[in-house]
Amino acid sequence: MSWDLVIETLTLEHHAVRLPVLGVTLLGFTAGLIGTFLLLRKQSLLGDALAHATLPGIGIAFAIMISLGLSGRALPGLLIGAATTGLLGILTVLAIRRTTRLKDDAAMGIVLSVFFGLGLVILKMVSNLPGSSAAGLEHFIFGTPATLLNSDFYIIAGTLLLTAITTSYLLKEFTLVCFDQNFASTQGWPTLLIDIALLTLVSIVTVVGLQSVGIILIIAFLIIPPTAARFWTHKLKTTLILASLIGAISGWLGSSFSSLYYKLPAGAVIVLAAATLFLISMLFGPARGVIPRFLRHRKLQRKVGRQHLLRSTYEILEQQQPNQAIQNLPISLSLLRQHRYWTRGELPRLIRQAKHEDHLERQPDGQIQLSESGFGEASRITRNHRLWELYLIKHADIAPSHVDRDADMVEHLLGAEIVQQLEAELDTPNTEIPSPHTIQPEASQ
């Protein structure tokens, strides 16, 4: 295999692969779009149950068309049969959930396993019908995008158009039901009808995608792109766009490479392409990715350590100079170690960091001293800490002897706007605030 062939396949220069790749790409775009709402509803297994429940319908539709003297492998008839038993499977899940105490996962597990087993039995039975050939029906299990026709492509394109229009029109309703269905119900929204509309779209996309991706793997096409998109953003509209693009790229890459390696199951290759994009998103996604989250955590740890060091230094200066203006004097490392617990090697590392940031200066005798900028930063950090302590004492009824620990857990997230709000709540101008540890319990009442 040459690179020229790979490039020609990816750029759709070959007529033989153009239609299947475009069809699967559009299907991936549609699956990512509607799959986002399925993921937000935490009903991923519902799509799995729906996909498995379509198999009996395929076998039954084949038998009916054969008995009527029609072609048993006519795609519209097979899709109608798949949609019928798929919806029956969804209704069975809802019935089990509403009439028993079984949870959603148990109900969906029962339905998908029973319907899939029933479908395999029916396919075996119709394959033995006299004068009929069920060869090719098993392709619905793993998917065969290479067999897509022009009519199939038009069906997929129509499904994309229907899904995009419905999603745009019902975006507010879908969003409300996904995030707070109880609130939507109490506000008088027709949550049942919204649910039906959403499940109908999921059913249509699932049934249309059977030939391309297959029964077993269509659920991955519905779930993996939205899940990958969640690593990149916190906004719903951006998630919808990214999920659609990731689904489209997965379908384009997977179907292209499956056409190059024609002996590989197309559905599996498409899902592996989606899984690769998911892995990249999981590692590098700026919103929830592992590496950016690790870097943010390290940055926060450095910030917390720096603030602890500067505040401890400033508090030692206060203890050394009670009832007078604080002067920036050198202090010894032993006082720092006694003032706060530091793990082994932590204090030297923090001192090196503060020195690098021009907040501390090392004296020839081994003592440390705040720089001019460090002294101002230490004063600000200490003031913000005590401001938060006073707020907790006044509004959260926390004892002054325990408030330091509680304030220490949240003070590092304080921004300028929050500090101004705390000052307004406490009616404190931007002046020196005494330590809450000197406040008597009666005064804090």
24 closest CA partner among 167, 166, 144, 203:
144
Question: Residues 270, 248: contact at Cβ < 8 Å?
Answer: no
Looking at the domain that runs over 294-444, which CATH code has it been given?
A: 1.10.10.10
- Locus of tokens 């549609």: 30
Instruction: Tell me how far apart the alpha carbons of residues 266 and 419 are, in angstroms, rounded to a whole number.
Output: 57
Distance, CA of 179 to chain centre: 14
Fold for 14-214, please state it.
ABC transporter involved in vitamin B12 uptake, BtuC (1.10.3470)
pLDDT tens per residue across all 445 residues of the chain: 566 767 776 777 766 677 788 888 888 888 888 888 888 887 777 777 777 888 888 888 888 887 777 766 677 777 788 888 888 888 888 788 778 887 777 888 888 888 888 888 887 787 766 655 555 566 666 667 766 777 777 877 888 888 888 888 888 888 888 887 777 788 778 877 887 888 888 888 887 777 677 776 778 888 899 999 999 998 988 999 999 999 999 888 888 887 777 667 777 888 888 899 999 999 999 989 999 999 998 888 888 888 888 888 888 888 888 877 888 888 888 888 888 888 878 888 888 888 888 888 888 888 888 888 888 888 888 887 777 777 777 766 666 665 565 555 555 555 666 666 666 665 555 555 555 555 444 443 3
The single-letter code of the amino acid at 25 is: T
Contacts of residue 151, defined as CB under 8 A and 6 or more positions apart, other chains included, come to 75
Tokens of 242: 């990214």
CB-side exposure of 33: number of CA atoms within 13 Å? 23
- pTM (two decimals): 0.76
Count Cβ atoms below 10 Å from residue 96 Cβ, excluding itself: 18
**Domain extents for the chain?**
14-214, 294-444
